[in-house]
Structure 1
């Protein structure tokens, strides 16, 4: 089973949790304490925040992936899109990278981040771990945890729980101080994350009980849950989400919007996730969290082995803060959900009450009802546009000879009997409602209507209602708008009054609602329409002051309208002249060797010393680089093979000179040695640790990096070879293994390692190949199986030699019969496959080194060295490839353009693997694994004058082709404007 297949199957498993949630009721949320209930509570129908029915529209982001100087900017973008909540992880290794040294300052200042969330009027869902996944290095576990004896993660293991408790002692008081009942933003807490034994469920074992007990002891009072709720790329599936057995609301805490393998917007993303969002809204969901709404960056060494520096995720808000089409899709769903949360958070299924509301049978109907009103959802699941009439008793004046257009995949809401205020009820809204905004004595209803489409609304009003717009007809206790949307460059306004209440309807096309922003200032709501984005907004001296921005690619004159409670005030935003921004050529490079640790004379007094080499990180280093040193003795001149288990990339230096490079997982390297004693230095590097999804058990042997275990050397080699020419024969049952390998050669068919032999079903079979005759004098060989799927019994010449249980777990089988090794051997492997793909999913290798000399006396020092040191640099006078890793540095300046946010990136073209620092900030790892190959330089890390750039290339590649480049799609103008309020 390949890694990519494993990832895919993991997704399927998680989707299964989502799609079968109703049947399993695995979405349990523990209620708030008595002290917190007045502030955050729930019932089976929905959430209540401060006593008010509240639809949770949450945006996933990680403060750990955003410089703290940009937290406000990213949170404001989330707020402007209508979100009322954010969801975060609190990565353990981000806050305790070195054992016992906790860091909650600067970019790690969780308390400051949560305060900012609160100040912006947002709520927070905090996922405290201790495991996170998140495509983050080691899933969030600190590296030092790997070297603690007896630690077994994610189970009832006292050593592990003791380290978790110590972390929680520092983390949880910060989180709990910000609980909503303490005046903070936190409304929900998640304990653990995506545990294979329990998601949203009751306590299932001692490990979960320990997390619960610790959290409650430290002051957890808001509702909490385990592991996650309804994760998936389509969390609602095709089911109704109501469940009479569920004591709590339906919530998706990871609605996967796009995926971590994508950079930027892809055509169709917005339509796809629009439909999936509306499925939640229309089928009884009470909240959702997009993972990710903003992805950010893996700065430093925080990426796992699937990523590099970028964690863009193809998200609505890009890595650099740019807004994608998905952003506006999310904004429409958010404002609708929040406008009608009294229905959506207190409703029941009313589909049976509206079976024929759509005249076209291609339209599927669902509906929600509550004391606050009804919403009927018209679903067009097909691939063609549908124009349907409506069958609504009592609203024939609206529906006669009228059809509404429902796009392919669209879910279109109709609103019925929704109480606006004490005087007015929205009897019917047959035009899509974008938002309902309370503005003092005015209620503004924004509807979304394209040119030539109907604008159809009917209100129930008290006698004495007065039309203040010729297009609003008032008669017999109703106010009716029955119009056709004109070709208008600005919104169309309809108004009427009932008592002291004004109802204003703003009809806009989709392009206009995209540019419409609802802002709250000093307790009052304002609507600003016509701007690509609105950031800060404040009122001073009877003027509204706003910061607006526009992508430079879309820049031009903008005409905007400010809607107060009583007026529509137009104002202009001057166009910003487009200026071509050129990439920055980098010159005047300096360099210094990054391989000083390979020299024969190195002071290793501070290095970690051990008999056998220890995995990277054993010395406390948290980087992706490490040096190992030892000595070897060659009895005579010739080629020698060093065998040592490894993971990552390696470079071997003999007496200070580069002798070989290799993939460490090959477990051996050949070196040409002269007779005598030699200094051997090995440089190792990796591209991120595994995130350990679903892993439970000892952590010390999992995903070791660098070289580790016993090391041996022998003249000759290489000694490790792969076995080819495999054949497969299907068996009928598990007990066939007792009969031994099938002898009939005609039963076997050619087999390729990695192929699924069982057609994704449970099954059994024989896999056979030939082990070649070994050279004379060979007394022992070892068979190395990296992974079989799932259980294996190994036979040599028909004789059972070993049995192994478990997929993706390496094992070895030794053959010590010197006489048998003089001839070819038949290797047969009986595989038991219990689910999904099965077979031999990784190559099987022979190790024929036999007896060899042990290499001991190892020293380890992690890290690339001091990248920012001012010493040791020399001018780079020519393009050259060095032996081993190398540092480069130079300076550059970025153009300062008024009223612009220019996005800059470092493009490592021509380089190998490594890290980049700008003004001392580590941008993360390259090469990127996404379509965007350059590394984002946060604008807050750039100076107006000289900027210092350092590059560490582990492969010693030449630096000459690199540039600092701009990202045209993300560049934007930023303008401060004012609008008079009277």
Structure 2
């Protein structure tokens, strides 16, 4: 029997996903997406392929399916795929085709959000920086150079998917695509040219003939036939711009992103489930979690300004690919309950009625099918309500789901899943026997020169803006100036910068730093310095921490030391403005030892390891921790910089950037409207200490770790953090029906008469033993 079942599954997979497979017709009407002539209630989740690795994809996608998802959504990241104009990258984490095929192999659909503007807390919003330098270009408006480039890239992605037979009409998994992204939030700033641009974008997308519907989120005037959809923490009140379009939720934010210097945001699952249930209650048929798995911002060109390397997002599947409980399990139960209502939901529109103050019922009823949602929108008081002659207890800020209009199978505030706690064990870095380096520490190092050290430096009158100068080829830009003084003096060096951080050196010695924040990138510093008689060298290292990714005209937001730069209160009481002097500039660092470890002769290992010094490269060889559990580096002791393992960048690290002491709420009351700063953890601590190292990047031994330390640290304090299987805690709330009963309900739902006889309405405020007895009776009747 098992062999025949396996053969059947293999044949089924071949028939569905082989290039010669049957086509799938995807359209829509006012209620839902229509797949092969049938309306569907769909649950979707965002997984961004470059924020994990190809080796992680199958497990993450399978866990998404096990959690009740039908669809996997991802952006397509233009700057990842075309870092240089006309030179493409679709390998490794950028293998978009492989990712889509992996989703297909799991039996799930795909929503491909081509954009190509993504936002996504991604560097430059996903645009390649070379786009900025095309003559006459203006981003995201009715501008021919921009539209030509946007159409060229969008068409390339569509053509690539078509060649692999990945659109639904070809038998593939892609049932939706998106063009543009959240333009409605900024379009008023672009005026009439923005309106005509959106019409052009819709027309351009549909002309590519994908055979599937296109979506624009946050775009109230999305032109027909483009579906306009909603993003936010809640979208139950959202209405499409046409009575012929379905109600879609493209981004239901499962948490929020972490920024360097901030506390860790999280969203209670009771509130997230409330948002989802309210959306389906009031006519929605497509909900997408942003994110379902957040992942990691590997490399310096992933995260946007001050965005941490971790993009965990408090998602149902955490950064390391482990399910987060109770969030994953509670949402899984919710999805089961919603699917029980699908027959009624796709047949008709809901009938909405009030059952009292802040109590709202929605009923889907047609023929023999009936489903109801009872919502208590009060954020303080539980309510007992009467519906169809029966009494129901509905907790504050919750939705009860009745797939037969009689029996509650799920309430969004009642969790029947054990919580789990994140657990890491610490292991020291073990040096490979016989490796090069200081025998006492295992580390070798190279000092990065202060100031100008490369032959491609250049001089220019005045101060330059950083992005236009570097083209984002590096985080770093040196500004160097020599001045002569008749006598030595103590003075203040005043510097103004557009951001994101800077370090000042006087005559080769570190003098001071300045750092912006996620909310305010600009910097003003006043650094006391001592100058000598004669020649003095002022070297300023300006750096970016990801480029702007959101807002109107964000591509014009600058960076770097644009001035003024002033020496205040010299010996004679005067001030000297240095801004208009002739400066020497150098893009990037002399060392480039991250992707390659450099020749062994360059690395110093013959003296004591220098620590707590700025501008230094470190290298060590190490043995990978045994086992298969996820691994991270605990960067305690380091300042700020970037790390590479075997040539792969694990991203920027910044453990010295500490979150404010105030504002955290752990635990957090889920009742009431959620916002990004409502529920916070980790106040007064480093925003991020642990930095994910994918197992696939590690060898059993002979691994190389390279660091560029910018401000000063001690690499001997770095250790491994090994993710352990989480242990369940006893904290869970009562659920309307146990898991077995919910499964029984699902199995018996086709026999509505027998089910009505078997299930007795449970009184959750009554005798718990009586409730258990009734539940067992239900199980017995379905056995």
Query: In the alignment, is residue 702 of structure 1 matched against residue 429 of structure 2?
Result: no
Any idea what SS the aligned residue of 1:935 has? strand
Distance 1:320 1:708 in 2: 40
2:499 aligned residue: 647
The Cα of 1:863 is off from its aligned counterpart by: 8.0
The Cα of 1:260 is off from its aligned counterpart by: 1.5
Query: In the alignment, is residue 684 of structure 1 matched against residue 542 of structure 2?
Result: yes
| 8 Å Cα contact 1:631/1:677 also seen in 2 | no
Any idea what SS the aligned residue of 1:289 has? strand
For 2:615, which of 882, 885, 894 is the aligned residue? 885
Distance 2:495 2:187 in 1: 42
Any idea what SS the aligned residue of 1:64 has? helix
User: How do 1:515-534 and structure 2 match up within 5 A?
Assistant: none
The Cα of 1:654 is off from its aligned counterpart by: 5.0
Moved more, 86-95 or 243-252: 243-252
For 1:56, which of 29, 42, 51 is the aligned residue? 42
Q: Deviations over 1:526-553 (max 9, x none)?
A: xxxxxx9xxxxxxxxxxxxxxxxx9998
Q: 1:269 to 1:221 in 2, by over 3 A?
A: same
User: How do 1:859-870 and structure 2 match up within 5 A?
Assistant: 859-861=586-588, 865-867=592-594, 868-870=596-598
For 2:209, which of 204, 213, 219 is the aligned residue? 219
The Cα of 1:623 is off from its aligned counterpart by: 5.8
- RMSD (Å) for aligned C-alpha atoms: 4.0
| 8 Å Cα contact 2:513/2:525 also seen in 1 | no
1:966 aligned residue: 722
User: How do 1:226-305 and structure 2 match up within 5 A?
Assistant: 226-228=216-218, 229-236=229-236, 239=237, 246-261=243-258, 269-301=268-300, 302-305=302-305
Distance 2:608 2:527 in 1: 32
Q: Deviations over 1:450-509 (max 9, x none)?
A: 9xxxxxxxxxxxxxxxxxxxxxxxxxxxxxxxxxxxxxxxxxxxxxxxxxxxxxxxxxx9
| 8 Å Cα contact 1:643/1:667 also seen in 2 | yes
For 1:904, which of 623, 631, 651 is the aligned residue? 631
Query: In the alignment, is residue 82 of structure 1 matched against residue 39 of structure 2?
Result: no
| 8 Å Cα contact 2:568/2:576 also seen in 1 | no
Q: 1:627 to 1:280 in 2, by over 3 A?
A: closer
Distance 1:851 1:113 in 2: 52
| 8 Å Cα contact 2:444/2:619 also seen in 1 | yes
Q: 1:878 to 1:655 in 2, by over 3 A?
A: same
For 1:368, which of 364, 367, 373 is the aligned residue? 364
Distance 2:552 2:30 in 1: 33
Q: 1:197 to 1:631 in 2, by over 3 A?
A: closer
2:428 aligned residue: 584
| 8 Å Cα contact 2:459/2:582 also seen in 1 | no
Distance 1:718 1:299 in 2: 46
| 8 Å Cα contact 2:258/2:310 also seen in 1 | no
1:94 aligned residue: 80
Distance 1:99 1:870 in 2: 28
**Structure 2 unmatched runs, 5+:** 1-21, 219-228, 431-439, 516-521, 660-681, 683-687, 729-783
| 8 Å Cα contact 1:617/1:862 also seen in 2 | no
Query: In the alignment, is residue 205 of structure 1 matched against residue 195 of structure 2?
Result: yes
User: How do 1:566-645 and structure 2 match up within 5 A?
Assistant: 582-585=426-429, 588-596=441-449, 598=451, 602-604=453-455, 606-607=456-457, 610-618=460-468, 622=472, 625-628=475-478, 630-639=480-489, 641=493, 645=497
For 2:407, which of 405, 430, 435 is the aligned residue? 430
1:845 aligned residue: none
1:722 aligned residue: none
Distance 1:242 1:964 in 2: 49
Q: Deviations over 1:836-879 (max 9, x none)?
A: xxxxxxxxxxxx75697622443433686222323322238646
The Cα of 1:624 is off from its aligned counterpart by: 5.3
1:328 aligned residue: 329
The Cα of 1:54 is off from its aligned counterpart by: 1.0
1:182 aligned residue: 170
Q: Deviations over 1:63-100 (max 9, x none)?
A: 12111221111111111111100111112222222333
Distance 2:92 2:315 in 1: 25
2:398 aligned residue: 410
Distance 2:593 2:472 in 1: 14
Distance 1:943 1:850 in 2: 54
Structure number with higher helix proportion = 2
Distance 1:368 1:659 in 2: 69
Query: In the alignment, is residue 920 of structure 1 matched against residue 774 of structure 2?
Result: no
| 8 Å Cα contact 1:633/1:675 also seen in 2 | no
Q: Deviations over 1:20-67 (max 9, x none)?
A: xxxxxxxxxxxxxxxx99611111122211222211211012112111
| 8 Å Cα contact 2:449/2:615 also seen in 1 | no
Any idea what SS the aligned residue of 2:274 has? helix
1:194 aligned residue: 182
Any idea what SS the aligned residue of 2:44 has? strand
Any idea what SS the aligned residue of 1:102 has? coil
Distance 1:687 1:137 in 2: 9
Q: Deviations over 1:286-318 (max 9, x none)?
A: 111111111111111121224211011111111
| 8 Å Cα contact 2:116/2:150 also seen in 1 | yes
Q: Deviations over 1:230-266 (max 9, x none)?
A: 2111211xx4x67895211101111112212399999
The Cα of 1:157 is off from its aligned counterpart by: 2.0
1:873 aligned residue: 603
Any idea what SS the aligned residue of 1:647 has? coil
Distance 1:712 1:243 in 2: 52
Q: 1:689 to 1:165 in 2, by over 3 A?
A: same
Q: Deviations over 1:193-244 (max 9, x none)?
A: 1113569xx99633223423433444343111324422111211xx4x6789
| 8 Å Cα contact 1:156/1:206 also seen in 2 | yes
Distance 1:295 1:328 in 2: 17
Any idea what SS the aligned residue of 1:337 has? helix
TM-score (norm. length: structure 1): 0.58
Distance 1:86 1:127 in 2: 11
Distance 1:152 1:343 in 2: 48
User: How do 1:503-542 and structure 2 match up within 5 A?
Assistant: 510-511=416-417
User: How do 1:440-839 and structure 2 match up within 5 A?
Assistant: 510-511=416-417, 582-585=426-429, 588-596=441-449, 598=451, 602-604=453-455, 606-607=456-457, 610-618=460-468, 622=472, 625-628=475-478, 630-639=480-489, 641=493, 645-654=497-506, 656-663=508-515, 665-666=523-524, 672-677=530-535, 680-691=538-549, 693-696=550-553, 699=555, 701-704=556-559, 706-708=560-562, 716-717=568-569
The Cα of 1:270 is off from its aligned counterpart by: 1.6
| 8 Å Cα contact 1:376/1:413 also seen in 2 | yes
The Cα of 1:678 is off from its aligned counterpart by: 5.5
Distance 1:157 1:914 in 2: 38
Any idea what SS the aligned residue of 2:715 has? coil
Any idea what SS the aligned residue of 1:923 has? strand
| 8 Å Cα contact 1:284/1:368 also seen in 2 | no
The Cα of 1:160 is off from its aligned counterpart by: 2.4
| 8 Å Cα contact 1:884/1:956 also seen in 2 | yes
The Cα of 1:163 is off from its aligned counterpart by: 3.0
| 8 Å Cα contact 1:144/1:618 also seen in 2 | no
Any idea what SS the aligned residue of 2:231 has? coil
**Structure 1 unmatched runs, 5+:** 1-35, 393-398, 417-427, 435-447, 451-508, 515-531, 533-549, 554-579, 720-774, 779-847, 973-982
| 8 Å Cα contact 1:84/1:123 also seen in 2 | yes
The Cα of 1:646 is off from its aligned counterpart by: 4.7
**RCO comparison, higher one (Cα < 8 Å, 6+):** 2
| 8 Å Cα contact 1:337/1:344 also seen in 2 | no
Distance 2:339 2:717 in 1: 51
| 8 Å Cα contact 1:294/1:312 also seen in 2 | yes
